[in-house]
């Protein structure tokens, strides 16, 4: 159904209700109903753990409010998006039209996000992006009803190049999955590394979510760079770390990545991850009361260690709580809802961050090193990294 038809159908229903005297009970019902939250996340496949961590983090933020949003109870709807872009529009449409959610929370994969984004822009439903970094969502196609609490794909790698050059790694090979997230992570890496004076000797890739790395690792060995930089995440990242070490490459070649490489995979990767350097807007070892409390509460509640995805899910919940409290649960009051979320400052376990005019976080990027199954902070690689928001006309 097109947006226009949807609008016409809804207004026809309202007129019908008014003429039969049913309008008042209808409004009262709408106000006292539960807030309908739709999770569209991967619960299977290489990003399955990421989806679970995001949902857990989101629920934790709401639990801190007695499970309510602006005083209203909450009802959850869930769709496994399988990280499958071909089903993105259909899955998001199901949540909006069949389940009539007030807010869509999703997703992880940039390609699937484009499906959600189309549905969000067409329907006007509030869309909160807890991970997927696809640039256009907060650049040329930014929208008043779309807020991202995570990053743009080039934000972490914009902080990577200088750190690599400071360690004397002047010649690098880049490797990733060939899809939006990998391509855009490369954009940030290319800019920061070449501006710092580094040379990219080869760009390698394989289709998402393929994990047959062997031939590419053999090629890397023959190229003999100072360093390898990459974007991988989830189950595929764990496999890449293990294969890189098993091929003996970690002995002579320093491995770098955007921090997703070592998020939520350190048990699965074991010793293979030791010494890997990454840039990211969070680190397990951030020594702040805020982070320590979050980690303890999360571990107690879910019997799992939190990672960056859990933090992003949590921050998505915090943002929605802020908005919902400002409108006392009336999520239909969109101008006031968006005004409260626009420019919001979020007191996150990652450190305080501010929502940009294009609705993407302005945040510090930490340099981290894996030691004993933990991402240890070495320092701040870059402060207050903002996405350029090219083409966004908001704000
Ligand atoms: C993405 O597809 O945008 C994506 C997926 C996993 C990550 C980061 C970005 O960890």
Say yes or no to pLDDT of 202 above 80.
yes
Say yes or no to pLDDT of 180 above 70.
yes
**Ligand 1 site, residue 83, Cβ cutoff 6 A:** no
Three-state secondary structure call for residue 230: strand
Q: What is the pLDDT of residues 367-393, one digit of tens each?
A: 999 999 999 999 999 999 999 999 999
| Chain position carrying tokens 């992006």 | 129
The secondary element (H helix, E strand) that includes residue 93 is helix 88-93
Task: Report the Cα–Cα distance between both ends of the chain, in Å, rounded.
Answer: 31
Confidence of residue 32 (pLDDT cuts 50, 70, 90): low
**Mean pLDDT calculated for residue range 98-117:** 98
Cβ neighbors of 15 (< 8 A, separation 6 or more) are: none
Confidence of residue 7 (pLDDT cuts 50, 70, 90): very low
Cβ neighbors of 395 (< 8 A, separation 6 or more) are: 342, 356, 357, 358
204: β partners: 175
CA distance 115 to 151: 18
CA distance 317 to 338: 15
**Mean pLDDT calculated for residue range 97-115:** 98
Q: Which numbered atom of ligand 1 lies nearest the CA of 234?
A: 10
Q: Ligand 1 centre from 264 Cα, in Å?
A: 13
**Mean pLDDT calculated for residue range 260-280:** 97
**Mean pLDDT calculated for residue range 242-265:** 97
Q: Which numbered atom of ligand 1 lies nearest the CA of 108?
A: 5
CA distance 367 to 381: 5
Q: What is the pLDDT of residues 307-350, one digit of tens each?
A: 999 999 999 999 999 999 999 999 999 999 999 999 899 999 99
**Ligand 1 site, residue 153, Cβ cutoff 6 A:** yes
pLDDT on residue 16: 36
Nearest to 232 by CA among 254, 215, 210, 252: 210
Mutate to test the pocket of ligand 1, among 49, 177, 181 (most ligand atoms within 8 A of CB): 181
pLDDT on residue 343: 84
| Chain position carrying tokens 């899809």 | 179
How much is the pTM? Answer: 0.92
Phi, psi (rounded to 5 degrees) for 171: -125, 120
Cβ neighbors of 211 (< 8 A, separation 6 or more) are: 46, 235, 236, 239, 240
Q: Ligand 1 centre from 337 Cα, in Å?
A: 27
């Amino acid at each position: 159904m097109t947006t226009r038809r949807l609008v016409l159908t809804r207004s026809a229903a309202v007129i019908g209700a008014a003429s039969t005297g049913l309008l008042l009970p209808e409004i009262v019902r709408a106000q006292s109903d539960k807030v309908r939250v739709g999770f569209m996340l991967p619960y299977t496949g290489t990003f399955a753990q990421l989806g679970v961590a995001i949902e857990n983090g989101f629920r934790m933020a709401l639990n801190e409010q007695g499970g309510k949003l602006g005083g209203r109870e909450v009802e959850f709807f869930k769709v496994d998006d399988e990280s499958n872009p071909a089903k993105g529009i259909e899955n998001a449409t199901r949540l909006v039209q069949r389940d009539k959610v007030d807010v869509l929370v999703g997703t992880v994969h940039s390609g699937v996000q484009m499906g959600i984004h189309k549905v969000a822009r067409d329907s006007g439903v509030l869309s909160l992006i807890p991970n997927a970094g696809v640039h256009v969502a907060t650049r040329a196609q930014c929208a008043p009803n779309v807020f991202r609490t995570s990053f743009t794909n080039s934000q972490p790698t914009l902080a990577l190049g200088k750190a690599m050059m400071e360690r004397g790694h002047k010649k690098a090979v880049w490797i990733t999955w060939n899809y939006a997230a990998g391509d855009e992570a490369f954009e940030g890496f290319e800019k920061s590394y070449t501006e710092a004076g580094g040379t990219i000797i080869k760009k390698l890739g394989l289709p998402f979510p393929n994990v047959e790395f062997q031939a590419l690792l053999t090629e890397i060995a023959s190229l003999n760079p100072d360093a390898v930089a990459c974007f991988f995440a989830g189950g595929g990242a764990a496999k890449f770390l293990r294969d890189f070490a098993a091929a003996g490459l970690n002995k002579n070649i320093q491995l770098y990545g955007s921090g997703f490489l070592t998020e939520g995979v350190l048990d699965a990767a074991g010793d293979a991850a030791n010494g890997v350097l990454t840039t990211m807007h969070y680190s397990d070892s951030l020594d702040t009361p805020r982070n320590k409390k979050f980690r303890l509460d999360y571990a107690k509640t879910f019997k799992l260690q939190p990672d960056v995805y859990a933090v992003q899910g949590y921050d998505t919940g915090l943002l929605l709580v802020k908005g919902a409290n400002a409108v006392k649960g009336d999520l239909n009051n969109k101008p006031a809802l968006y005004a409260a979320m626009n420019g919001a400052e979020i007191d996150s376990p990652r450190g305080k961050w501010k929502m940009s005019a294009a609705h993407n976080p302005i945040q510090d990027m930490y340099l981290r090193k894996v030691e004993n199954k933990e991402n240890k902070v070495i320092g701040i690689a870059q402060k207050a990294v903002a996405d350029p928001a090219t083409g966004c006309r908001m704000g």
